[in-house]
């Protein structure tokens, strides 16, 4: 039985009459191959990537596992349509917070149509893409106060400037109510567990960065990094394995515009990735500093 | 003070039709005319800020020309000039290359006209595709015993393979003006490689760029220089390769964000040089 994914934060969403991805109960994600060549192109990428011996083993974990294509009943009722079959990257989570960040200071690339170029560059300039080298496409977080999910409005997200993006990245790892927009600053309660630590987001991003400094296989135009972590275990906090419990995960997604590297590194993605890494590092540093000043009075008192 | 036209300028404005160009003196100083429409002012502002900025680590200063303030110079209608260290003063036969860094030369808040002008140039060159473009160079041809400087038109038409070939030619000794001949990469290890080579210096810069949020170096170039005189005398190890950042007319405040545009281009440039170092033989492309 196929149903609409619960945790999708960006891209087309399947709903009444709309075409979008579906999931089954076996942890598989079905992404419809759309009319224009984008779907085919994405399938071609997955086929190439899956069998590419030049991709180091430790890098495969950052990509969804591909299971070929399959004819499936489309979500908009239009009949059977070819779908990409992937591992659902959030299927192992019961209450995941998820954020989609489009990486790169431009989403267009050489040789695209004039129309597509104009559309992309307009959006790139209106969002943080040009200024920061990445933009937040969407996110949902578990509101620990309300015990429910809070989803950021798309219009809000696309209107972010640098401070907005910074705030969103802090909200993403906070336990105070995200709906409390500007009054209470986000407390970054889970920053160390999600962003930091030996298996956290930062470590994973740094591993990706190292690969991007030399890989000339693919140019990941318009791709996103999807960050996910588990709230369930944080809810039941108190154990010794808080760091593992959050199971923060980085995945690259959306490969409709990937091109051959042709001997050049993906400097567009890499520049944006480095900028994103700096934002995460800054949040971790500010949390460390805050924790230091909070504990030192105690030490001084002794 | 005797001022003359610099011998080895490879890119940027030159003296033409009564409009002033840069000059050098015999005391190791370079005089750059302040460009019109606030660009000159902006460059001065940058140099003033940079030379006193305590957040710039000491080991990074070596990559920037030393600033000596501004001065009105005789013969240039009393127009003010920026006084800088002449980067080539200690070289007798320098090969020089100017590489503009970044996959875009425009920046947010630039005028629409400027953005369009830059975009056109960026998409027509290796700026968009490779994250950098070769603006100019002059290289000493050891076979011809003379300097060779390509036409600007040639450089603008370079694609990725042409850029790669040019970077090989820059460290070669043979028939450089013949675009069909295969470069011998004779000096690749002494110039690009080694513990004081271009690659090592670029990697140091890269580390700084991964964290510095002080400045965004829009449209800046990296200048690579090395000495041919010592090579001619058989001392390949004395090439004294040097990397400098130049041209700060469009530098803006970083505002808490790293210069991801420059950094991406720098990483791409580093990879090109690494490839050349690893396979100086052109046919062994990975």
Residues of chain A contacting residue B274, judged by C-beta atoms under 8 Å apart? 214
What is the model's pLDDT at position B8? 83
- String of DSSP letters for A261-294: -TTS--HHHHHHHHHHHHHHHHHHHHHHHHHHHH
Best of B267, B273, B276 to disrupt the A interface by mutation (most A CBs within 10 Å)? B267
Residues of chain B contacting residue A275, judged by C-beta atoms under 8 Å apart? 257-258, 260
| Gap between the Cα atoms of B39 and B34, Å rounded | 7
Task: Tell me how close the Cα of B122 comes to any Cα of chain A, in angstroms.
Answer: 11
Q: Is A260 an 8 Å CB contact of chain B?
A: no
Which whole-number Å values give the CA distances from A89 to A19, A21, A26, A272, in the listed order? 20, 13, 12, 23
Residues of chain B contacting residue A216, judged by C-beta atoms under 8 Å apart? 271, 286
Q: Name the closest residue on chain B to residue A121, using Cα atoms.
A: B119
Q: Which of A105, A131, A274 sits opposite B210 (nearest CB)?
A: A274
Task: Tell me how close the Cα of B227 comes to any Cα of chain A, in angstroms.
Answer: 29
Q: Is A270 an 8 Å CB contact of chain B?
A: yes
- B88, B96 contact by CB (below 8 A): yes
Minimum mean pLDDT among A241-255, A273-287, B5-19, B185-199: which range? B5-19
Task: Tell me how close the Cα of B4 comes to any Cα of chain A, in angstroms.
Answer: 40
What is the model's pLDDT at position B282? 58
Q: Which of B104, B211, B285 sits opposite A278 (nearest CB)?
A: B211
Q: For chains A and B, what is the number of CB pairs under 8 angstroms?
A: 83
User: If residue B85 lies in a helix (H) or strand (E), which one and from where to where?
Assistant: strand B80-85
For the segment A246-267, the average pLDDT, to the nearest whole number, is 96
Mean pLDDT, all residues of chain A: 90
Non-local CB neighbours of B123 within 8 Å, separated by 6+ positions: A110
Residues of chain A contacting residue B265, judged by C-beta atoms under 8 Å apart? 267, 271
pLDDT, tens digit, for every residue of B16-33?
556 678 889 999 999 998
Share of chain B above pLDDT 90, in %: 71
Task: Tell me how close the Cα of A262 comes to any Cα of chain B, in angstroms.
Answer: 9
Token pair listed for A170? 């802090």
Residues of chain B contacting residue A125, judged by C-beta atoms under 8 Å apart? 108
Residue B265's pLDDT band (cuts 50, 70, 90):
very high
Q: Which of B129, B213, B267 sits opposite A110 (nearest CB)?
A: B129
Share of chain A above pLDDT 70, in %: 92
Burial of A104 by CB count in 10 Å (0-12 exposed, 13-18 middle, 19+ buried)?
buried
3 state SS of A239: coil
| Gap between the Cα atoms of A177 and A236, Å rounded | 18
- B133, B127 contact by CB (below 8 A): yes
| Gap between the Cα atoms of B270 and B255, Å rounded | 26
What stretches of B102-259 show up as alpha helix (H) in DSSP?
A: 112-124, 126-130, 152-156, 160-169, 188-191, 198-209, 229-232
What is the model's pLDDT at position A301? 45
The dihedrals phi and psi of B50, each to the nearest 5 degrees, come to: -65, -40
What is the model's pLDDT at position B283? 47
- B258, B215 contact by CB (below 8 A): no
pLDDT, tens digit, for every residue of B187-215?
999 999 999 999 999 999 999 999 999 99
* Whole-complex ipTM: 0.94
Place of tokens 């990725």: B160
Instruction: Identify residues of B whose CB sits under 8 angstroms from chain A CBs.
Output: 103-104, 108, 123, 128-131, 160, 164, 210-211, 213, 255-258, 260-261, 263-265, 267-268, 270-271, 274-275, 285-286
For the segment B215-227, the average pLDDT, to the nearest whole number, is 98
User: Any idea what DSSP says for residue B236?
Assistant: G
What is the model's pLDDT at position B76? 59
Place of tokens 């219009």: A155
Residues of chain A contacting residue B210, judged by C-beta atoms under 8 Å apart? 274, 277-278
Which A residues in the span 123-142 are in contact with B, Cβ-Cβ below 8 Å? 125, 130-133
Residues of chain B contacting residue A268, judged by C-beta atoms under 8 Å apart? 103, 131, 264
Share of chain B above pLDDT 70, in %: 93
Residues of chain B contacting residue A106, judged by C-beta atoms under 8 Å apart? 103-104
Q: Name the closest residue on chain B to residue A215, using Cα atoms.
A: B271
pLDDT, tens digit, for every residue of B162-194?
999 999 999 999 877 787 788 999 999 999 999
pLDDT, tens digit, for every residue of B75-96?
656 778 999 999 999 999 999 9
Q: Which of A132, A263, A270 sits opposite B160 (nearest CB)?
A: A263
For the segment B228-241, the average pLDDT, to the nearest whole number, is 89
What is the model's pLDDT at position B285? 42
pLDDT, tens digit, for every residue of A13-39?
887 678 999 999 999 999 999 778 888
pLDDT, tens digit, for every residue of B100-138?
999 999 999 899 999 999 999 999 999 999 999 999 999
Residues of chain A contacting residue B160, judged by C-beta atoms under 8 Å apart? 262-264
Q: Is A105 an 8 Å CB contact of chain B?
A: yes
pLDDT, tens digit, for every residue of A153-199?
889 999 999 999 999 999 999 988 777 666 789 999 999 999 999 99
Asked if the model's pLDDT at residue B46 lies above 70, the reply is yes
What is the model's pLDDT at position B240? 95
- The secondary structure of B46-71, three-state, reads HHHHHHHCCCCCHHHHCCCCCEEEEE
Interface contact flag, B265 A131, Cβ < 8 Å: no
- A216, A265 contact by CB (below 8 A): yes
pLDDT, tens digit, for every residue of A53-85?
999 999 999 999 999 999 999 998 889 999 999
What is the model's pLDDT at position B286? 38
Task: Tell me how close the Cα of A238 comes to any Cα of chain B, in angstroms.
Answer: 35
- A7, A29 contact by CB (below 8 A): no
Structural domain boundaries in chain A: 22-87, 96-289
pLDDT, tens digit, for every residue of A109-153?
998 999 999 999 999 999 999 999 999 999 999 988 888 999 998
- A40, A31 contact by CB (below 8 A): no
What is the model's pLDDT at position A260? 96
Task: Tell me how close the Cα of B191 comes to any Cα of chain A, in angstroms.
Answer: 21
User: If residue A139 lies in a helix (H) or strand (E), which one and from where to where?
Assistant: strand A134-143
What is the model's pLDDT at position B280? 67
| Gap between the Cα atoms of A294 and A288, Å rounded | 10
Best of B214, B264, B286 to disrupt the A interface by mutation (most A CBs within 10 Å)? B264
Residue B284's pLDDT band (cuts 50, 70, 90):
very low
SS3 percent helix, strand, coil of chain B, rounded to 5, is 35, 20, 45
| Gap between the Cα atoms of A107 and A113, Å rounded | 13
This prediction has a pTM of 0.94
The CATH architecture to which A96-289 belongs is 2-Layer Sandwich (3.30)
Q: Give the sheet arrangement for strand A249-253, strand by strand.
A: A148-151, A134-143, A96-103, A224-230, A249-253
């Amino acid at each position: 039985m196929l149903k609409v994914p619960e945790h999708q934060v960006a891209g087309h969403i399947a709903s009444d009459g709309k075409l979008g991805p579906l999931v089954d109960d076996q942890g598989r994600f079905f992404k419809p191959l759309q009319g224009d060549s984008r779907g085919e192109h994405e399938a071609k990428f997955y086929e190439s990537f899956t069998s590419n011996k030049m991709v180091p083993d430790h890098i495969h974990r950052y990509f969804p596992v591909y299971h070929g294509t399959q004819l499936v009943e489309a979500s908009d009722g239009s009949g059977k349509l070819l779908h990409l079959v992937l591992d659902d990257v959030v299927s192992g989570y019961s209450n995941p917070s998820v954020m989609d960040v489009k990486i790169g200071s431009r989403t267009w690339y050489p040789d695209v149509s004039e129309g597509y170029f104009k559309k992309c560059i307009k959006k790139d300039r209106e969002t943080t893409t040009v200024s920061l080298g990445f933009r937040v496409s969407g996110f949902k977080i578990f509101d620990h106060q309300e015990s429910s999910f809070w989803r950021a409005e798309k219009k809000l997200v696309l209107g972010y400037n640098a401070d907005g993006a910074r705030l969103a990245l802090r909200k993403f790892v906070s336990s105070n109510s995200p709906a409390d927009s500007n009054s209470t600053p986000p407390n970054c309660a889970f920053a160390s567990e999600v962003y930091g630590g030996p298996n956290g987001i930062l470590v994973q991003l740094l591993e990706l960065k190292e690969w991007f400094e030399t890989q000339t296989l693919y140019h990941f135009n318009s791709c996103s990094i999807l960050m996910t972590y588990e709230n369930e275990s944080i809810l039941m906090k108190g154990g010794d394995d808080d760091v593992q419990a959050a199971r923060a995960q980085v995945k690259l997604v959306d490969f409709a515009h990937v091109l051959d590297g042709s001997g050049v590194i993906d400097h567009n993605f890499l520049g944006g990735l480095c900028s994103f890494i700096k934002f995460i590092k800054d949040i971790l540093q500010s949390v460390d500093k805050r924790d230091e000043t909070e504990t030192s009075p105690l030490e001084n008192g002794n | 003070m005797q001022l003359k036209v610099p011998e080895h300028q490879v890119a940027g404005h030159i003296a033409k039709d009564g409009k002033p160009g840069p000059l050098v003196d015999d005391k190791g100083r370079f005089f750059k005319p302040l460009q019109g429409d606030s660009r000159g002012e902006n460059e001065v502002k940058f140099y003033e800020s940079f030379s006193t900025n305590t957040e710039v680590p000491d080991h990074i200063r070596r990559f920037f020309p030393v600033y000596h303030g501004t001065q009105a110079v005789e013969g240039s209608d009393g127009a003010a000039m920026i006084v800088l260290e002449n980067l080539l003063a200690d070289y007798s036969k320098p090969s020089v290359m100017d590489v503009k860094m970044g996959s875009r030369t425009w920046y947010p808040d630039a005028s629409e006209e400027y953005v369009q002008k830059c975009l056109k140039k960026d998409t027509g060159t290796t700026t968009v595709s490779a994250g950098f473009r070769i603006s100019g160079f002059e290289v000493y041809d050891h076979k011809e015993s003379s300097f060779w400087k390509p036409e600007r038109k040639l450089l603008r038409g370079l694609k990725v393979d042409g850029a790669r070939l040019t970077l090989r030619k820059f460290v070669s000794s043979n028939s450089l003006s013949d675009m069909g001949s295969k470069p011998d990469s004779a000096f690749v290890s002494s110039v690009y490689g080694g513990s004081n080579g271009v690659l090592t210096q670029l990697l140091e810069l890269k580390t700084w760029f991964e964290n510095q949020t002080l400045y965004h170096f829009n449209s800046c170039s990296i200048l690579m220089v090395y000495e041919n005189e010592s090579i001619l005398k058989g001392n390949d190890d004395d090439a004294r390769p040097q990397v400098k950042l130049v041209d700060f007319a469009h530098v803006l405040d970083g505002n808490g964000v790293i210069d991801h545009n420059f950094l991406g281009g720098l990483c791409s440039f580093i990879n090109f040089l690494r490839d050349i170092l690893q396979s100086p033989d052109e046919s062994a492309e990975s």
